[in-house]
Chains A and B, each alone.
Chain A
């Protein structure tokens, strides 16, 4: 990817993309600086203050344990961003390895892609549910379970791109010059996959946040004592008539975070080499 000045200029041509970028910066700073921003300990239980409406001491109100929602949202950004990155890294690393190898070696490709196709026929949430049940509830395990779902998509895309690039003149030239498989794969093919993969990563991040929130909601996501936004929503459903603010704030934060990633991904894709556009 050519990170020139004009690239950024074009990327941020639309105002909405700038808004998206600003929100992302805010969320990421919330995640990094949580202890400095949060007014209360997010885990501190205080039964006397339970289910308080938003007010001047508790900006977003308190939950059924009397914990401060605002502080939990701030710390929630940390978990949410961290787990999102976890899924992206897991799915991209393994997806690219499987996808490019399958695209490069035909027989292996047939075998791996066959399995990946079958796995893709499983509804993502059912797959993630089953994987969490197998691995047990835990932050890393949920990342792996959701990562596995998106791994298949990344692998499929990488596979398609690799097939395409393999036939490009420069790759064929390198092969003709006697370059080994590893060299061709790592020096010629994978570097050319980077920009579409970054775009894919942005969307994966957005989808992964939604998927993990859904798992949290079903009670099989990140362990419930960790204040992820999804977990906060999950425990709010018992109080929707009495304490709707429990539902409101974490939801809004999920929506704007996912939205910013989507906006950002869209802008990146528009700037992308048109050769790859069809695949994404």
Chain B
């Protein structure tokens, strides 16, 4: 197991290398100039050129890449052009919001999605099942930003129950009340992804139900609840866990839109702003961090199979 983990960790290096080459070429194929953006609409070409030199943007691309890569592997992702401060601290400032949003959404997805999927499978082909599936299908067909804006009209504008935008930090103020700013965003983000988990849970449950050992367990006269939980769910959970890596990426992708809708000070919105500002180091930094997270989550998922299913072992 340890040896396997170590081998997997080694494969991360080429992945990150490929990723950073891709990211860097993307960035430098973008037209436009961060210096021009920073100086606003009234800057003269001379002022822009002066700032470009100051920011080191006039160096050849390969030089910039080599410098960046060297420092990235030492844990330094460079400085933001726009904020004039280290990328890591820029990301850190925005991380609280995104971590909260992603975690709460994930909790909603797991707490709602899995049980509903299980019930739907158990009640296969009943009206309840069909209704659930219908709703799940609908939820997966709604654009997240549209759902968010509608929730905002209903709960913030018309009913005035919840704030419509922004998020004052909880960690800094210690005020847990601020979490109410995240209720609508989390529902928005969780909805389509819960739908996918419901469908996945249901179909993997149904697959397992067809297996011989389930029939045997039932024939042995075991209680139905035990059959469902111990035999069916236990086995179905592996394919659910394997989907969590993708769900995570889907959530991160979703934060970009959700944070924009609700004007949350998070990393997702920072991505959009940074693309528009051509703040290359920040975009590079964020994608780099996301890829690392993704790789680690996939590793954790694979390792967790061994705990979930005794038949799987890594040597």
Main SS class of interface, A: helix
Distance of B195 from chain A, by nearest CB (Å)? 10
**Chain A residues positioned under 8 Å from B252 (CB to CB):** 123
Q: Determine if A123 and B253 form an interchain contact, defined as CB atoms under 8 angstroms apart.
A: yes
Selected interface stretch from B23-31, B69-77, B110-118 = B23-31
Selected interface stretch from B47-55, B146-154, B229-237, B304-312 = B146-154
CA distance A206 to B192 in the complex (A): 13
Q: Determine if A117 and B256 form an interchain contact, defined as CB atoms under 8 angstroms apart.
A: no
**Interface hits, B138-174 → A, CB 8 Å:** 138, 140-146, 149-150, 152-153, 157
A193 an interface residue at 8 Å Cβ cutoff? no
**Chain A residues positioned under 8 Å from B141 (CB to CB):** 206, 210, 255, 258-259, 262
A254: nearest residue on chain B (CB-CB)?
B143
Query: Which one, A16, A114, A136, A230, contacts B18 given CB within 8 A?
Result: A114
A121 an interface residue at 8 Å Cβ cutoff? yes
A213 an interface residue at 8 Å Cβ cutoff? yes
**Chain B residues positioned under 8 Å from A65 (CB to CB):** none
Selected interface stretch from B36-44, B60-68, B182-190, B289-297 = B289-297
Q: Taking A121-B294, A214-B257, A254-B143 as contacts, is the C-beta distance between A237 and B30 under 8 angstroms?
A: no
Interface residues on B, range: 35 or more
Q: Determine if B287 and A126 form an interchain contact, defined as CB atoms under 8 angstroms apart.
A: yes
Selected interface stretch from A2-10, A41-49, A127-135, A165-173 = A127-135
Q: Determine if A251 and B143 form an interchain contact, defined as CB atoms under 8 angstroms apart.
A: yes
Q: Determine if A118 and B15 form an interchain contact, defined as CB atoms under 8 angstroms apart.
A: yes
Q: Determine if A262 and B22 form an interchain contact, defined as CB atoms under 8 angstroms apart.
A: no
Distance of B144 from chain A, by nearest CB (Å)? 7
Task: Give A residues with C-beta under 8 Å from B.
Answer: 16, 114-115, 117-126, 129-131, 133-134, 136, 206, 210, 213-214, 217-218, 220, 230, 233, 236-237, 240-241, 244, 247, 251, 254-255, 258-259, 262-263, 266
Given contacts A118-B18, A244-B153, A262-B141, 8 further A-B contacts (CB under 8 A): A118-B19, A121-B291, A121-B295, A125-B253, A129-B256, A213-B146, A247-B146, A259-B138
